[in-house]
């Protein structure tokens, strides 16, 4: 894997279990404005013959822990926006890049992602600390709950576990902000793709809510839409939830293009694949990379965003690798 080559100073890079990962040791990358926004030579993204999520996705969300309803509403609206028509550039327009990936039958990734069920695990069924593997047990609990269990859907189900600000997760904030994988039948009963993303608001906003917060260890002020030093405000008012949305977007793009970790990734090591969103870490607009988020929009309150969603919402999501253009791309691209 080539994480050294394309990560911005925050260095959220790929880690095993297809994680949105990061490493402080890569701070030395700080001064290097390397990015792949306009380059294709260094990327060896390959298809490894496995399936992609081509059938319409039924998304099931598990809210683990104690959640603020306002934050839930923001995240829910983002999920609704994935398959809704909003004015350009929309979240669905952003997802169009993901849809360019196909499997060996020629089927594209679906454009239909429907929020089909939610489960509130407000009793912290597996405690306040979750190992990576315990995320699968959280899913098992949700599909076996009585009375309001989530369906166990091995045909086109995708499970998204979201942990509240107080929940600690193995490697969270140190190595990962989220990850995706698939469940083991002996834990959940079937193999289904899933992703986990944590709310970093109290634990590490400077690490996982980039670019709305700034890593303390960096010694530098936060990035902004114009390359200056004024901090970019979160478009929906919560650094943790708005930061989570870009991580959720990242994980949804990757779980769809590499659900069983045998489809689309770069690098020779399937335990540490570099996936379609890993290639564009820290890039949210034209010119992005190396600590500059790129050209994004800014509203009158100073909030940064690059896509629009339902109910007039605005979100900031990182770009993903476009396999046709062979560069990172998003609907707010200047070209």
Q: By CB under 6 A, name the binding residues for ligand NAG.
A: 99-100, 102, 108, 323-324
| Minimum separation from the CB atom of position 241 to ligand NAG (A) | 29
Q: Are 29 and 4 in contact (CB under 8 A)?
A: yes
Q: Cβ closer to ligand NAG: 196 or 329?
A: 329
Closest CA to 42 of 320, 326, 269: 326
Query: What is the rounded radius of gyration, in angstroms, for the C-alpha atoms of the chain?
Result: 18
Alpha-carbon separation of residue 81 from 56, 77, 157, 245, 328 (angstroms): 15, 6, 18, 12, 21
| Minimum separation from the CB atom of position 324 to ligand NAG (A) | 5
Residue 59 CA to residue 55 CA, distance in Å, equals: 12
Q: Cβ closer to ligand NAG: 197 or 333?
A: 333
Angle at 19 between CA 14 and CA 20, to 5 degrees: 70
Q: Cβ closer to ligand NAG: 196 or 264?
A: 264
| Minimum separation from the CB atom of position 94 to ligand NAG (A) | 13
Q: Tokens at residue 147, please? A: 């009375």
Q: Cβ closer to ligand NAG: 110 or 306?
A: 110
Residue 113 CA to residue 156 CA, distance in Å, equals: 10
By DSSP bridging, strand 157-163 and strand 193-198 are parallel
Q: Are 117 and 143 in contact (CB under 8 A)?
A: no
Q: Cβ closer to ligand NAG: 111 or 189?
A: 111
Alpha helices in 40-90 (DSSP H): 69-81
Closest CA to 95 of 311, 314, 329, 305: 329
Q: Cβ closer to ligand NAG: 48 or 99?
A: 99
Residue 265 CA to residue 119 CA, distance in Å, equals: 31
| Minimum separation from the CB atom of position 321 to ligand NAG (A) | 12
Give the other-Cβ count within 10 Å of 305's Cβ.
25
Q: Cβ closer to ligand NAG: 198 or 323?
A: 323
Q: Cβ closer to ligand NAG: 63 or 101?
A: 101
Q: Are 211 and 250 in contact (CB under 8 A)?
A: no
Q: Are 218 and 27 in contact (CB under 8 A)?
A: yes
């Amino acid at each position: 894997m080539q994480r050294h080559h394309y990560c911005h100073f925050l260095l959220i890079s790929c880690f095993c279990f297809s994680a949105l990962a990061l490493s402080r040791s890569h701070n030395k990358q700080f001064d290097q404005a390397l990015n792949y926004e306009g380059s294709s030579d260094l990327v060896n993204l390959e298809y490894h013959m496995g399936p992609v999520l081509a059938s319409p996705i039924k998304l099931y969300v598990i809210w683990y822990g104690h959640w603020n309803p306002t934050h839930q509403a923001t995240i829910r609206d983002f999920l609704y926006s994935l398959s809704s028509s909003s004015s350009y550039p929309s979240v669905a327009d952003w997802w169009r890049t993901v849809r360019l990936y196909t499997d060996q039958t020629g089927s594209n990734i679906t454009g239909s992602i429907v929020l089909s069920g939610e489960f509130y695990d407000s009793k912290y069924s597996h405690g306040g600390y979750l190992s990576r593997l315990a995320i699968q047990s959280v899913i098992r609990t949700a599909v076996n709950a009585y009375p309001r269990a989530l369906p166990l859907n091995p045909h086109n189900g995708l499970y998204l576990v979201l942990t509240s600000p107080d929940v600690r997760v193995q490697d969270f904030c140190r190595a990962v902000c989220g990850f995706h994988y698939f469940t083991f039948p002996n834990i959940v009963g079937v193999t289904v793709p899933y992703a986990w993303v944590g709310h970093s608001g109290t634990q590490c906003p400077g690490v996982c809510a980039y670019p709305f917060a700034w890593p303390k260890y960096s010694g530098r002020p936060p990035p902004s839409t114009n390359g200056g030093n004024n901090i970019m405000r979160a478009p929906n008012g919560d650094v943790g939830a708005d930061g989570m949305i870009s991580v959720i977007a990242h994980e949804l793009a990757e779980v769809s293009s590499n659900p069983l970790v045998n489809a689309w990734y770069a690098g020779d090591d399937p335990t540490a694949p570099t996936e379609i969103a890993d290639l564009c870490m820290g890039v949210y607009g034209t010119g992005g990379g190396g600590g500059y988020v790129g050209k994004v929009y800014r509203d009158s309150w100073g909030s940064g965003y690059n896509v629009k969603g339902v109910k007039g919402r605005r979100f900031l999501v990182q770009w993903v690798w476009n396999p046709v253009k062979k560069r990172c791309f998003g609907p707010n691209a200047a070209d």
